[in-house]
Structure 1
Amino acid sequence: MTSTYRAVLLTRKGGPEALELRELPLEPPGPGQVRVRVRATGVGFTDIIMRRGYYPYAPRFPFTPGYEVVGDVDAIGPGVTGLRVGQRVAALTVHGGCAEFMTRGAEEFIPVPDGLDDAEVTALILNYVTAYQMIHRVARVQRGTRALVTGAGGGVSTALLQLLRVAGAEVFGVDSPPKSEAIRAQGARFIDYKERPFDQTVRELVPEGVDVAFDGIGGGNITLCARAVRKGGQVVSYGFTSAVGRDGSSDNLGTFLGMASLFVGTRLRGRRSAFYGITQLYREDPKPFREDLPRLFELLAERKVEPLIAHRLPLLSGRAGQELLERGGVRGKIVLLRAVPEPS
């Protein structure tokens, strides 16, 4: 057995050059821990925010990025039950996935059924659980609910479109014209935000307003969502990407104004509001995640959801993945995979 392994380390705040490939000692798992040989991890916007030095759940530098992991149990520490060597598992890790091996507490890992694609499972862990929990645990969507999704061509938004369709909702997706066909393909009605303010289009289509709006952009979108939602309806926010500069820096004022608009402005209009963050919820209580991810495995096996994979890159290509994401235009999830050969 090898005594070392390779991992991508984020060594400091900065650009992609702050990501370095290192060789590290391979340690045995401690009591209650499991060591996993990583099959796949994802690349997401949060990884870029961490690299720029703004994310409340990031550890101190240096650390390995990789928010979600699929892997095989490689070694089991004393006292661990319920898992076996060779078993495929998944975990919401927040960091640590962009490496050949990782070690965490056994309670973090959830068995993955046979027959599911590693890249698609990776997309479920963060994007689809986020969407599923907002739909079913926050908004409590019922069949016939009219739902609005902004930035509808993004990763979490695509998951929202698919899972809202599964839930029997009538869905309206807001984005730019190049993403119109992809949004329609998910069964949603496309709304072009560049043509005019999208709340005006929504009110023409649904004069009384939709029941719920899901927004990950923030800024002026919160006000438009509140105008598009009926009185007594709900606006659910899951991020303020508009308050992050092009260089990844945080606009604290923009975030504050976004929160004020969500929790004050929306409620003054007679609408309910909520902010959802998967990591905060998971840290407070991991039980919902452990319940919801297996449900998504079932939907994936039945092909009721089909994650869009934008790029499949070699496992240690964390820098290349982040550079792709920063250039923009990515439709779907970037996944780093052990089974993809390194370029020669």
Structure 2
Amino acid sequence: MISTYRAVVLTRNGGLDALELRELPLEAPGPGQVRLRVRATGVGFTDIIMRRGYHPDAPKLPFTPGYEVVGDVEAIGPGVTGFTPGQRVAALTVHGGYAESIIRDAGEFIPVPEGLDDAEVTALILNYVTAYQMIHRVARLRAGQSALVTGAGGGVGTALLQLLRVAGVQAYGVDSPPKAGLVRELGATFIDSRERPFDEAVRKRLPEGVDVAFDGIGGDSIARCTRAVRRGGRLISYGFTSAVGRHGGGDNVGGLSGLLALFVGTRLLGRRPSVYGITQLYQKDPSLLREDLSQLFTLLAERRIQPLIAHRLPLLAGRAGQELLERGGIRGKIILLRDVPKKT
């Protein structure tokens, strides 16, 4: 009988060398819990922020990163009903995904319909639920309205563009020139982030401004988004990646200026600011994740959305995945898989 499993463990805050592959004891699930054999997990910038010590929802060190999982039910704890061994389920775990096994409360797991790809389902859990909830639960956008998306070629950015197209919303995607084709393929008007201030570019096309801006960058991007939004419109911030950076430590000044621009500057200019966090909303009402993920499963099955998978790596290659993400230029989501398709 197997008594251990392997996991990538974050041993300390720091660089990539803080991630270590370890063998850990395999435990039985307790009352109300389920143990999964992990099939897939994602690599996201949230994992990098946790590694550097800046994420508010990071657990106490040492821990295994991995914000979302898809896996097979392997063992069921006392008092658990509604699950069967081998059943495929998904969960928003926040941490724990870079591992062969994971245990969580049974209520966290959501059954996954047959016929859906593991990597694409994994991309839905964090990136697409984030995009879906911002569009429908925060902004409440309607067909015919307009929206601006910064970092449009990334994981959440591409999810936003696809879901805005489904909703009938005209999207403007801000990113660097190499991602222009991708942004246009997803139905958005491309805005070059390097050519000129993107708020000026938006206003040239839409003089009154967009109805909503979605920003995961922070810093100077907040002020530009504010100027790109019409008076009375909304700016939704879901991250401050510019304050952390891809390769170095935190930029406290940049982070503070971004917060001031969000909470003070937007209101002074007659815009409505919102801060979105998927974990905070999930903790407040877990049923919303279940509802929204079910809607996304349907859209995926109908191929009305198609998550962009940048890389499919082996399950325990979390360090390599984070290294790729830190290099930049990623289009879509990096997925770690138990069964990686062989190259032909």
Range class of TM-score, shorter chain = over 0.9
Q: Show CA shifts across 1:192-243 (max 9, x none).
A: 1211111111111111111111111111111111111111111111111111
Identity value in percent: 75
Q: Show CA shifts across 1:77-111 (max 9, x none).
A: 01111211111000000100111111000010000
User: Following superposition of structure 1 onto structure 2, how do residues 35-46 of structure 1 map, counting pairs within 5 Å?
Assistant: 35-46=35-46
Could you tell me which residue of structure 1 aligns to residue 72 of structure 2? Answer: 72
Determine if contact 2:246/2:328 at 8 Å carries over to the other structure. Answer: no
Q: Aligned with 1:141: secondary structure?
A: coil
Q: After the TM superposition, which segments of 4 or more aligned residues of structure 1 sit over 3 Å from their partners?
A: 245-248
Q: Unaligned regions of 5+ residues in structure 1, if any? A: none
Could you tell me which residue of structure 2 aligns to residue 244 of structure 1? Answer: 244
User: Following superposition of structure 1 onto structure 2, how do residues 86-105 of structure 1 map, counting pairs within 5 Å?
Assistant: 86-105=86-105
Q: Show CA shifts across 1:261-320 (max 9, x none).
A: 111100110111101011111122212111101110000000011000011011011111
Determine if contact 1:48/1:248 at 8 Å carries over to the other structure. Answer: no
Query: Following TM superposition, by how much is the alpha carbon of 1:251 offset from its aligned partner in structure 2, in angstroms?
Result: 2.4
Could you tell me which residue of structure 2 aligns to residue 7 of structure 1? Answer: 7
Determine if contact 1:314/1:341 at 8 Å carries over to the other structure. Answer: no
Could you tell me which residue of structure 1 aligns to residue 266 of structure 2? Answer: 266
Q: Aligned with 1:5: secondary structure?
A: strand
The residue type paired with residue 121 of structure 1 is V
Could you tell me which residue of structure 2 aligns to residue 234 of structure 1? Answer: 234
Could you tell me which residue of structure 2 aligns to residue 182 of structure 1? Answer: 182
Q: Show CA shifts across 1:120-161 (max 9, x none).
A: 000000000000000000000000011111111111010000
2: distance between equivalents of 1:341 and 1:50?
A: 29
Q: Aligned with 2:148: secondary structure?
A: strand
Q: Aligned with 1:207: secondary structure?
A: coil
TM-score, normalisation: structure 1: 0.97
Could you tell me which residue of structure 2 aligns to residue 340 of structure 1? Answer: 340
Q: Against the structure 1 CA distance between its residues 325 and 251, is the aligned structure 2 distance closer, same or farther, given a 3 Å change threshold?
A: same
2: distance between equivalents of 1:301 and 1:7?
A: 31
The residue type paired with residue 271 of structure 2 is R
TM-score, normalisation: structure 2: 0.97
Q: Aligned with 1:339: secondary structure?
A: coil
Determine if contact 2:13/2:53 at 8 Å carries over to the other structure. Answer: yes
1: distance between equivalents of 2:201 and 2:17?
A: 44
Q: Unaligned regions of 5+ residues in structure 2, if any? A: none
2: distance between equivalents of 1:96 and 1:221?
A: 32
Q: Aligned with 1:138: secondary structure?
A: helix
Alpha-carbon RMSD across the aligned residues, in angstroms, is 1.4
Aligned length: 343
1: distance between equivalents of 2:309 and 2:245?
A: 26
Could you tell me which residue of structure 2 aligns to residue 20 of structure 1? Answer: 20
Could you tell me which residue of structure 2 aligns to residue 134 of structure 1? Answer: 134
The residue type paired with residue 333 of structure 2 is K
2: distance between equivalents of 1:321 and 1:17?
A: 13
Q: Aligned with 2:294: secondary structure?
A: helix
Query: Following TM superposition, by how much is the alpha carbon of 1:57 offset from its aligned partner in structure 2, in angstroms?
Result: 0.8
